[in-house]
A and B are shown apart, each in its own frame.
Chain A
Amino acid sequence: MKVILKTMLATLLAIVTPAFLWSQTKPIPINVSLFNESTAIPFTRFITTPVHPGIQVGTEFDYNRKSHTRLFQTANISYFYHNYLAQGIGIHTELGYECRASMGLALTGLFGLGYMHTFATTEEFRHHNGQYEKKSDKGNARLIPSLSFDVGYYLRCADTYSPKIYLRYEAWAEYPYSPDFIPVLTHINLHAGVKFFLSKKSISHE
C-alpha cells in the first residue's frame, strides 16, 4: 500500500511541478471538488443514489489564453468510495477548453487520461493450493479515460484570478475491469467544486 501511495504521489508531483514552476510568477490555481461517483452508462443519468462520495484536488496551467477562451492542462488526484464495490485512488490529467462570458459564466470541456488503483471494500479471499485463504488486498491497476463538461461561475467577472465555483459532469471508464467478463466498467462523477488561486502573497505567508 505504501509503495502504491508513494508511486502515485511521485507521479502527481511529476505532473504538478512544471505547473508549479510556471506559476512561480503567477498565482497558482487550485481545484477542489467533492463528487458523487456512480456506475452508469455515461450521459444516461445525472443525479444518482446512493451517494458514493469522492474528493478531487488538482491544479491547472494554461497553454493558451485569449480574452474569453483558454486551452489548459489539469493535474488531479482523486479518491472515491463506492459502498460494497470498490474504493479507488487515482491521478489523471486533462486537456481542457474553457469559454468564459463577460458576466462570469464559463463553460468547459475536458478530455482526460489517468491511472487509478482500486481496492475491494469487502474482505477478499485468494484461491491458493486448492483452497481459499484470506489475502491482503494489493488492489487492481486501471487506466481511466474521461470526458467532462462543466458549467462554472467566476465570482469576480473581470478578474483573471477570480475564484470560480462549478458543477462538473464527468464520464469515465476503468479498464481493464474483469477480463472475459466485464472488460470495461463505466462511471459518472458529479462534482461540485471550487477553483481558487494561491497568490505569491498567500504562499509567502505559509
Chain B
Amino acid sequence: MNKITNLLIVFLFISACREGENIEPSFYTCEFNFPDSSLTHPEHQQYQNLLDEIVSNGVVGISMSVFKPQDGMWIGAGGMADLHNAVSMQPCNISRVGSTVKMYTAVTVLKLQEEGKLNLDDKIADYLDGDVIDKIENADEATIRQLLQHSSGIYNYIQNLVFQTASTNDLIREWKPEDLLQYAYHKSAYFPPGDDVAYSNTNYIMLGMLIEKIEGKPFYDVFEEKLFSPLGLTLTQFAAEDPVPDGIVRGYIDLYSNLQVLESTYFSGWDYYTADGGLISNPYDMNRFFLELMRGHIINANSLNEMLIWITPKEQDAEFFPIQYGLGIFRIETPQGIAYMHSGDAIGYYANMLYFPDDSTTIVYAVNSNYGKIDQFVSTQAAMENILEAVK
C-alpha cells in the first residue's frame, strides 16, 4: 500500500510539470527589408550596453529601435527569445505589444472621420447596440472622442477583481468582446463624461466594436487595410488572426516577484479579439508607424492636431511622470523633455513607444518578460529614466 501511494505521488509530480516546447532556432528566423547599418551607428555601443545592462538585471530579452534624424535608425537586441531552447533575441523578432495598439485604434477611428463615416463628437450610443450601452454606466452619454481620450468615465473592466481571478483561472481562454464587457456592466462610472480622465480598456473595446460596425468587418482587418499594408509593416499583425504566430518570442512572467520566471507564451491574456490590446509587432515596425504618424503621413494635419489636444488628469500618479491624455496617446514630461508615448502590457510581454517632438527622436522597445521584479527594469518611471538617459 505504501509503495503504491509513493508511486502515485511521484507520478503526480513528474507528470504535472509541463516541460518547455522543443523549437528549432529556425522558427525564430526573421529579417528586415531595409539596409540595416546599426553596427556602424555612432552610438551603437552605448545603446547595446544599455540593453545588456537591462538583461543582466533580470529581463529575459529586449529589442529596441531608436530613430534620430541626424543618425538614422538603430535597431538592436539583447538576452533571449527562448530560454528552453537557448535562442537569442534578434531585433526583428516579433512579440506581443499589448495596449500600444490603442494608438493604432485611435488612428483608425480618426481615418474613419476623415472619410466622413463618423464624427468624433457623435455619441457611441448612436452606433452600438442598446443592449451594451444600457448596461455600461456613461455609455449612453459618452462621445467617441471621450472614449478615445479616456474621458468617458467608463469603468475599466480589468479593475474588476472578479475578472482578474477569472482570467487567472483559465489562462488560455480566448475572451470575446462581449465576455469582457460583462465585467463593466452595472459598474459605477468614475466621473460624468468629460469631467476628468481615467484610463479604461473598456473604452477601446467599444471603439473596436465601432470600427466593426462602420466597416462591416473585423477591426483588425481594417487595421491591415488602412495601416499595416499601406505602411509596409510586414512584421505587424493582430493576435486574432493567429494568436501564437510563427516566430513570436516566448513570453515569461516573474509571477512570484523573485526573478524566477515561468513561460507564458500561450496565456491568452484577454485581448486577442478586442481593440484594447492584442497587437503583435516589433520595435522597428512600431517606430516606423509612430514616425509616419507624427510626420502627418497617416492622418492629415487636422486629425493629428485633434489627436494631440491634451487633457490633464485632476490627480497625477505620484509614481509616474506628469502625464496628459490625448486621443490614444499620452504626453509625459521626462527629464529629457516632452515625449508622446503609449506603452502596453501582455502576459509575459511589455512594449513602450516614445516620440520626442523637440527633435523627432523615436524610441521603441519591447521585452518578453514582465510582472514582479522585472517591471522595475522596463516600465516604471525609474526604468524609463534609465533608458532615456542612455538613449536620448
Chain A contacts to B: CB under 8 angstroms: 1, 5, 38-41, 44-45, 48-50, 52, 79, 81-85, 87, 119-127, 130-132, 134-135, 137, 140, 177-181, 185-186
Q: Does B351 contact A (CB under 8 A)?
A: no
Taking a contact as CB atoms under 8 Å apart, the answer to whether B83 and A85 are in contact is: no
Chain B 53-88 per-residue mask, 1 if CB under 8 angstroms from chain A, else 0: 001101010000000000000000000100110000
Chain A residues lying within 8 Å of B371, measured Cβ to Cβ, are: 178, 181
Write the chain A residue with the least CB distance to B374: A127
Asked if B267 contacts A87 (CB within 8 A), the reply is no
Given contacts A81-B12, A132-B80, 16 further A-B contacts (CB under 8 A): A38-B169, A39-B165, A50-B169, A52-B169, A82-B169, A84-B18, A87-B12, A120-B17, A122-B17, A122-B18, A123-B263, A127-B259, A135-B260, A178-B257, A178-B371, A179-B257
Q: Within the complex, which residue of A49, A82, A123, A181 is in contact with B17, where a contact is CB–CB below 8 Å?
A: A123
- Known contacts A120-B17, A178-B372, A181-B372; is A39 also within 8 Å of B261 by CB? no
- Determine which of B12, B161, B162, B171 lies in contact with A85 in the assembled complex, contact meaning CB atoms within 8 Å: B171
Interface string of B26-55 (1 = CB under 8 A from A): 000000000000000000000000000001
Instruction: Name the distance in Å between B84's Cβ and chain A's nearest Cβ.
Output: 6
Contacts of B56 in A (CB 8 A): 130-131
Q: Which residues of A contact B12 (CB under 8 A)?
A: 79, 81, 87
- Chain B residue at smallest Cβ distance from A118: B256
A-B pairs with lowest CB-CB distance, top 10:
A127-B259, A130-B56, A39-B168, A84-B171, A39-B165, A39-B169, A123-B20, A38-B169, A127-B58, A126-B260
Q: In the assembly, what is the distance between CA of A123 and CA of B19, in Å?
A: 5
Q: Does B166 contact A (CB under 8 A)?
A: yes
| Residue numbers in A under 8 Å from B17 (CB-CB) | 119-123, 137
* Interface residue tally for chain B (C-beta within 8 Å): 37
Please classify the interface of chain B as helix (H, G, I), strand (E, B), loop, or mixed, using the class held by over half of its residues: mixed
CA distance A140 to B161 in the complex (A): 23
CB neighbours (8 Å) of A180 from chain B are 257, 372
Nearest-neighbour CB distance to chain A for B258, whole angstroms, equals 8
Given contacts A135-B260, A140-B256, is CB(A50)–CB(B162) below 8 Å?
A: no
Which B positions have Cβ atoms within 8 angstroms of A?
Answer: 9, 12-13, 16-20, 55-56, 58, 60, 80, 83-84, 161-162, 165-166, 168-172, 252, 255-257, 259-263, 266-267, 371-372
| B123: min CB distance to chain A, Å | 32
Give the nearest-CB partner of A206 in chain B: B1
Among A121, A178, A181, contact of B18 (Cβ-Cβ < 8 Å):
A121
B14 to chain A, nearest CB (A): 10
Query: In the bound complex, what is the Cα–Cα distance between A82 and B171 (angstroms)?
Result: 10
Residues of A within 8 A of B372 (CB): 178, 180-181
Number of A-B contacts (CB under 8 A): 102
Let me know if B9 and A124 touch, CB within 8 A. Answer: no
**A181 to B60, alpha carbons, bound, how many Å?**
19
Could you tell me the distance in whole angstroms from the C-beta of A80 to the nearest C-beta in chain B? 10
How far, in whole Å, are A94 and B19 apart by their CA atoms in the complex? Answer: 36
CB B21 to nearest CB in A, in angstroms, measures: 10
Quick one: which of B18, B161, B260 has the most chain A CB within 10 A? Answer: B260
Best-surrounded residue of A48, A82, A85 (most CB of chain B within 10 A): A85
Q: Choose from A84, A123, A140 the contact partner of B172 (Cβ within 8 Å).
A: A84
Known contacts: A84-B267, A119-B13. The answer to whether A124 contacts B260 by CB under 8 A is yes
Q: List 19 A-B contacts (CB under 8 A).
A: A38-B169, A39-B165, A39-B166, A39-B168, A81-B12, A84-B172, A85-B168, A85-B171, A120-B262, A121-B17, A122-B18, A123-B18, A123-B262, A123-B263, A125-B252, A126-B260, A178-B255, A179-B256, A181-B257
Give the contacting residue for A123; candidates B9, B16, B84, B168; CB below 8 A: B84
Give the distance to chain B from A66, nearest Cβ to Cβ, in Å: 37
Assess A41 versus B19: contact at CB under 8 Å? Given A48-B169, A122-B262: no
For residue A130, which residue of chain B has the nearest CB? Answer: B56
Given A125-B260, A179-B257, CB of A132 within 8 Å of CB of B83: yes
Q: Which residues of B contact A52 (CB under 8 A)?
A: 169
With A119-B13, A122-B17 in contact, do A41 and B162 touch (Cβ < 8 Å)?
A: yes
Known contacts A39-B165, A50-B170; A127/B260 CB under 8 A? yes
Q: How far is the CA of A178 from the CA of B373 in the complex (A)?
A: 10
Out of A44, A124, A178, A185, name the residue touching B261 (CB < 8 Å): A124
A40 to chain B, nearest CB (A): 5
Q: Complex formed: what's the CA distance from A119 to B17 in Å? A: 8
Residues on the B chain within 8 Å of A82, using CB? 169
Smallest CB separation, A150 vs chain B (Å): 22
Q: Select from chain B the residue with minimum beta-carbon distance to A129.
A: B56
* Residues of B with C-beta under 8 A to A178: 255-257, 371-372
- Chain A residues whose C-beta falls within 8 Å of the C-beta of B260 in the assembled complex: 124-127, 135
Decide: A185 and B161 in contact? CB cutoff 8 A.
no
- Residues of chain B within 8 A of A135, CB atoms compared: 260
Q: Smallest CB-CB separation from A84: which chain B residue?
A: B171
Q: How far is the CB of A132 from chain B (nearest CB, A)?
A: 5
* Bound: A52/B19 CA distance, A: 19
Max chain A C-beta neighbours (<10 A), residue from B161, B171, B255: B255
Residue of B nearest to A83 (CB): B171
Inter-chain CA distance A84–B60, complex, in Å, is: 20
B172: A residues at CB distance < 8 A: 84
